[in-house]
């Protein structure tokens, strides 16, 4: 059985990028429902004792939807820290971004463009292969790069429930604001685990 993750920051810490109201709905209602539905579907599935990443790679249908959304949201909510006007990567992930995209600004532009252009609901991801090479992918509603053998590092949720309270229908403004709350120490930790 899986539990709803605790947020590693106060509900208002991400403001103005993400409001406490959005967090209360997004984490407290949307993610809580995915976790509840996943737990209800697990008994008798043969997947009960697997880690969440393996369930996402093996499940289908409704179980995949709820497992994928649980994994995606867990990674999403734990990649943030309190809002900061000056926030840029450092260390190995900064070096990899410069190597694979030319610069942090070029990476942000490509990442934001892929997030803004994803039709409908889904996710945009930064992932690494086993050699440490980085890739940006667009994934559907419950898609996750682990299904492609990649290590997910960073993600922006482009489902409307992630931003509609704060930004209405302006997905690009939402995407631009998220750079101020990325916890690059956490992204470096994930990158080291690949």
Q: Tell me: the pLDDT tens digits for 7-30? A: 999 999 999 999 999 999 999 999
Query: Is residue 189 situated within a structural domain?
Result: yes
Q: Is 58 helix (H, G, I), strand (E, B) or coil?
A: helix
pLDDT band with cut points at 50, 70 and 90 for residue 138: very high
My answer on whether 122 and 179 are in the same domain is: yes
My answer on whether 63 and 112 are in the same domain is: no
H or E stretch including 174?
helix 171-178
My answer on whether 141 and 169 are in the same domain is: yes
My answer on whether 105 and 135 are in the same domain is: yes
Task: Please list the alpha-helical segments (H only) found in 7-147.
Answer: 20-25, 32-41, 52-58, 61-77, 91-101, 104-117
On whether the CB atoms of residues 193 and 133 are closer than 8 A, the answer is no
Query: Is residue 83 situated within a structural domain?
Result: no
Mean pLDDT confidence for 48-65: 97
My answer on whether 100 and 143 are in the same domain is: yes
Query: Is residue 120 situated within a structural domain?
Result: yes
My answer on whether 99 and 35 are in the same domain is: no
Query: Is residue 11 situated within a structural domain?
Result: no
List, for residues 87-134, the tens digit of each pLDDT value: 999 999 999 999 999 999 999 999 999 999 999 999 999 999 999 999
**Domain interval for residue 68:** 20-77
When divided into structural domains, the chain yields a total of 2
CATH number where 38 lies = 1.10.287.990
Q: Distances from the Cα of 189 to the Cαs of 6, 13, 69, 75, 100, in angstroms?
A: 19, 21, 22, 12, 19
pLDDT at 99: 98
């Amino acid at each position: 059985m899986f539990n709803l993750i605790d947020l590693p920051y106060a509900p208002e810490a991400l403001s103005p990028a993400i409001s406490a109201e959005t967090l209360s709905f997004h984490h407290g209602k949307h993610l809580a429902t995915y976790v509840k539905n996943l737990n209800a579907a697990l008994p008798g599935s043969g997947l009960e004792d697997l880690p969440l990443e393996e369930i996402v790679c093996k499940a289908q249908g409704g179980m995949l939807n709820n497992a994928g959304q649980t994994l995606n949201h867990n990674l999403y909510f734990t990649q943030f820290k309190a809002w900061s006007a000056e926030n840029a990567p450092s260390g190995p992930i900064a070096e990899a971004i410069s190597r694979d995209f030319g610069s942090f600004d070029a990476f942000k532009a490509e990442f934001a463009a892929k997030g803004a252009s994803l039709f409908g609901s889904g996710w945009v991801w930064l992932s690494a292969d086993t050699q440490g090479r980085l890739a940006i992918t667009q994934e559907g509603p419950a898609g996750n790069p682990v299904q492609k053998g990649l290590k997910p590092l960073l993600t922006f949720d482009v489902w409307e429930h992630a931003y509609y309270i704060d930004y209405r229908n302006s997905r690009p403004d939402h995407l631009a604001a998220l750079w101020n709350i990325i916890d690059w120490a956490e992204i470096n930790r994930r990158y080291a685990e690949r």
